[in-house]
Amino acid sequence: MSGIHHVTAIAGPALRNFDFYTRALGLRFVKKTVNFDDPGTYHFYYGDEAGKPGTILTFFPWEHAAPGRGGVGQTQQTAFRVPAKSLGYWTHRFVAQGIAHEALEKRFGESVLPFTDPDGMSLALVGVPGAEDEAGWSNGDIPAEHAIRGFHGVTLLLEKAEKTSAILTDVFGFKEVAREGSIIRLTGDAREGAVVDIYEAGGFLPGRQGRGSVHHVAFRAKDDAEQAEMSRKLVEVHGQHVTEQKDRNYFRSVYFREPGGVLFEIATDDPGFAVDEPVEQLGQNLKLPAFLEKHRSDIERVLPPLTTNEVTA
């Protein structure tokens, strides 16, 4: 299955991030854990009811993070898919809730509603014909019929597209399907997270990571064997340096910096987010990997308080 597994970004205050993605966008809070490499910081996961690959947007919320700067070598925009008929509902919702957004526009024949989160992260809703036939998860006051159905895709802003495009097609199984101006569209065969647009634009300043910027984009591997084969191709065919595999509890990951400068990850589909709590209780408790459990009291003492039961039950 070729597609995006998850997108991870950097946010400001944890509570503000939580409120926006659960209450304003209606995503499910799938997992409350910590950054395994920096356990004094939360790691939030939002997605659909079960947290399927292709629906997961994750954040490192840092209370005093400096703002990021968009530019070359970064993910320029992250897009969600909604039923095509739901874009009117979402436009009215954004107006009513004072969410910064732009007018509807057309890209590759699709209707797109760009907006930003409270940290300035560039997002969009894309009206996808047929999405209304997929089950939506109702959270709060957003009816299930208008709910977000996972990722549509991401737009990468790159100086040159050729080497990145070669990796997406040869290693991850995407295919180039269209060009529109300076944007090259590649698609995979997954239902959610199947689109990568490469905006080839030389002469821009390089991006700078910070609040509101994407940290990395993760692509799907069915299991360890498929991930290993992808890593082999990256090294032997594309000359990339790939990290050793890291166990993230809910998937196993390897990382590499693609030629355009964006940090890519390959994440396994298994074991998923129900490995340490039932699906119906996802996100309600702070979950720690086994190697951090002995530090739980210290970790809980430094993390900002967060009450989640009212939106995850």
Choose among 169, 196, 185: nearest CA to 54. Answer: 196
pLDDT tens, residue by residue, 83-123: 999 999 999 999 999 999 999 999 999 999 999 999 999 99
- Cβ neighbours for 209, distance < 8 A, ≥ 6 positions apart: 10, 68, 74, 215
pTM assigned to the model = 0.95
Kindly indicate the confidence band of residue 238, based on its pLDDT and cuts at 50, 70 and 90: very high
- The runs of H, that is alpha helices, within the chain are 14-19, 87-97, 162-170, 224-236, 296-302, 309-312
Contacts of 242 (CB under 8 A, 6+ apart): 231, 234, 235, 254, 255, 256
**Cis (ω within 30 of 0) for the bond into 305?**
no
pLDDT in tens, 133-163: 998 888 788 999 999 999 999 999 999 999 9
CA 302 – CA 304 distance, rounded (Å): 7
Percent with pLDDT over 90 in the chain: 92
